[in-house]
Amino acid sequence: MGGLLLGAHDPDSGDLVYIGDVGTGFTEAERARLQARLDVLERKRHPFAETPPRADTARAQWVEPELVGEVVFRQFTRGAGRLRHTAWRGLRDDKKPADVLAPQRREPASARKTTREHAQGEPVAEERPTASPGAKVTVQAGDRRLVLSNLDKPLYPDGFTKGEVINYYSRIVPVLLPHLAGRPVTFIRFPDGVGGEQFFEKNVPHSAPSWLPTVRIARSGSRGSTEPITYALLDELAAVVWAANMAALELHVPQWTVDSDGTRRPPDRLVFDLDPGPGTSIVHCCRVAERLHDALTDDGLTAWAKTSGSKGMQLYCAITTDAPAAPSAYAKKLAQRLARETPDRVTAVMAKAQRTGRVFIDWSQNNPAKTTVAPYSLRGRDHPTVSTPITWDEVRACRRPAQLVFTADDVLDRVDEHGDLLGNLDATRAALP
């Protein structure tokens, strides 16, 4: 069960109407329980008074509308009035289907609401003033005051706004900052939103606030300019909010930290980037990750997993080494070993012609000049998906790509429940073989 199509009764006619869908907020256990309850309710045709859009229901399996659930949502679509930015909160066995009324817009033009839609259809809303489009707003971020702009501007095709991006990064800061500490940040900015122009930004822009810590680092292996790069260091809430206000959706960091004078310290993390080729998915990456986990364990290293927030995933190990090139050499050797063992399923070669039907183990992310998307960073995709730490139980249980897709709302819920699943990464540091 990937998600649910939602219905509610029109308050005037009593007809069951389609009000959108929900695909996030489910635990694996919840998906399994719902699947079992839905299987016995199967029917051949949809139960709505009017046929829902085919684009929404192309792969739907219809059931009798007898289960009542609760979702949270942020807003309505224009025109159709369907729910947007939904997240599942659980079944409501205390409610009857007839109690569920379609939510109505009650939002005055001068106010913005965060709405929770309960099964009985009565929204509980907290109103707060909003500025006109393009207006600037002054906010307090920790000990600093920042001026933010264009908070209502959608940055994702599904309508996720810059204000919501800033809200996510503000709330995820406690677990995000430890993974950025001491690491120069490369931004991928989307000033016109996902689908518009995007660009990498290493040098801190001239408009950066004077209090933002920066570090000048000599270029390594550059064939062009030899001018050092001035990177930002994100070490507090205000710095992260500043970056989000620039529409820096993605935060990428190297596998090493830096001293205040720009001196690079030896690598402290080993990373394997598992990239599914055509005809494969993150499910296939999980099977390769299990093999890497066992090989790394045999070598005395502890592997930690996270999704890329896109199609693949990454494995991390906390390491000690004095040789900057050693992690790449070790990772390449291990990747080539797995490719030799199963050449039909794994490749260690970057060439696209070698990737069809295979998982590419990108060992080159350990090159000191390379960066990897940071844990808890958003990605610039159709939806606000996040590079999300996951457990090995989740890796082993993965049989469908949807099981390891997490949006900003999902990740905030996961952190509330589990804390930082990478929080003990540094405590497992071991010498690189």
Out of 109, 129, 149, a domain closes at: 129
152 pLDDT tier (thresholds 50, 70, 90):
very high
Q: What is the pLDDT of residue 224?
A: 57
- Is the domain of 92 the same as that of 211? no
Domain at 116, CATH number: 2.40.50.140
Helix (H) or strand (E) run with residue 380 in it: none
Would you mind telling me the total number of residues written for the chain in this entry?
Answer: 433
Q: How many domains does the chain have?
A: 3
In the predicted structure, residue 190 carries a pLDDT above the cut 60: yes
Least confident segment among 133-147, 215-229, 402-416: 215-229
Tell me how many helices (H) and strands (E) the chain has: 8, 23
In the predicted structure, residue 129 carries a pLDDT above the cut 70: no
- Is the domain of 324 the same as that of 345? yes
Q: Is residue 262 part of a domain?
A: no
Q: What is the pLDDT of residue 112?
A: 37
Q: Which residues contact 402 (CB under 8 A, 6 or more apart)?
A: 2, 3, 23
Q: Is residue 117 part of a domain?
A: yes
Q: DSSP class of residue 402?
A: G
Structure tokens at 274: 């598992």
- Is the domain of 282 the same as that of 187? no
Residue 98 has φ and ψ, to the nearest 5°, of -65, -20
Share of the chain above pLDDT 70, in %: 90
Higher pLDDT, 17 or 75: 17
Q: Is residue 258 part of a domain?
A: no
Q: What is the pLDDT of residue 227?
A: 84
In the predicted structure, residue 374 carries a pLDDT above the cut 70: yes
Q: Kindly report, residue by residue over 7-44, the tens digit of the pLDDT.
A: 999 888 888 999 988 877 777 677 888 888 899 999 98
Q: What is the pLDDT of residue 154?
A: 95
Q: What is the pLDDT of residue 167?
A: 96
Structure tokens at 215: 């570090």
End-to-end CA distance of the chain: 42
In the predicted structure, residue 124 carries a pLDDT above the cut 60: no
In the predicted structure, residue 201 carries a pLDDT above the cut 60: yes
Higher pLDDT, 260 or 363: 363
Q: What is the pLDDT of residue 116?
A: 34
108 pLDDT tier (thresholds 50, 70, 90):
very low
Domain at 206, CATH number: 3.90.920.10
Q: Compute the distance between CA of residue 50 and CA of residue 37 in angstroms, rounded to an integer.
A: 25
Q: Is residue 359 part of a domain?
A: yes
- Is the domain of 183 the same as that of 88? no
**Given the DSSP bridges, would you call strands 16-22 and 69-73 parallel, antiparallel or unpaired?**
unpaired
Q: Is residue 263 part of a domain?
A: no
In the predicted structure, residue 360 carries a pLDDT above the cut 50: yes
247 pLDDT tier (thresholds 50, 70, 90):
very high
Mean pLDDT, all residues of the chain: 88
Q: What is the pLDDT of residue 11?
A: 83
Q: What is the pLDDT of residue 114?
A: 35
- Is the domain of 121 the same as that of 141? no
78 pLDDT tier (thresholds 50, 70, 90):
low
For the ranges 19-28, 93-102, 232-241, the one whose mean pLDDT is highest = 232-241
- Is the domain of 121 the same as that of 140? no
Domain at 284, CATH number: 3.30.70.3300
CA distances from 333 to 161, 200, 216 (A): 43, 30, 33
Q: What is the pLDDT of residue 131?
A: 45
- Is the domain of 331 the same as that of 380? yes
Q: What is the pLDDT of residue 88?
A: 85
Q: Compute the distance between CA of residue 231 and CA of residue 254 in angstroms, rounded to an integer.
A: 12
- Is the domain of 281 the same as that of 422? yes
Burial of residue 93 (number of CB atoms within 10 Å: 0-12, 13-18, 19+): exposed
Out of 129, 154, 172, a domain closes at: 129
Q: What is the average per-residue pLDDT within 95-100?
A: 87
Q: Is residue 259 part of a domain?
A: no
Share of the chain above pLDDT 90, in %: 68
- Is the domain of 361 the same as that of 321? yes
Q: What is the average per-residue pLDDT within 103-118?
A: 45
Q: What is the average per-residue pLDDT within 307-336?
A: 98
SS3 20: strand
- Is the domain of 42 the same as that of 100? yes
Out of 219, 253, 287, a domain closes at: 253
In the predicted structure, residue 120 carries a pLDDT above the cut 50: no
Query: Which residues on adjacent β-strands are paired with residue 214?
Result: 232
In the predicted structure, residue 74 carries a pLDDT above the cut 90: no
Helix (H) or strand (E) run with residue 293 in it: helix 282-298
Structure tokens at 63: 């059931």
- Is the domain of 91 the same as that of 161? no
DSSP per residue, 322-339: S-TTHHHHHHHHHHHHHH
Nearest residue to 398 via CA among 295, 287, 297: 287
Q: Compute the distance between CA of residue 190 and CA of residue 377 in angstroms, rounded to an integer.
A: 14
Q: Is residue 261 part of a domain?
A: no
Higher pLDDT, 392 or 52: 392
In the predicted structure, residue 126 carries a pLDDT above the cut 60: no
Give the type of residue at 219: R
Structural domain of 65: 4-129
- Is the domain of 332 the same as that of 315? yes
In the predicted structure, residue 407 carries a pLDDT above the cut 70: yes
In the predicted structure, residue 106 carries a pLDDT above the cut 60: no
380 pLDDT tier (thresholds 50, 70, 90):
very high
Q: Is residue 96 part of a domain?
A: yes
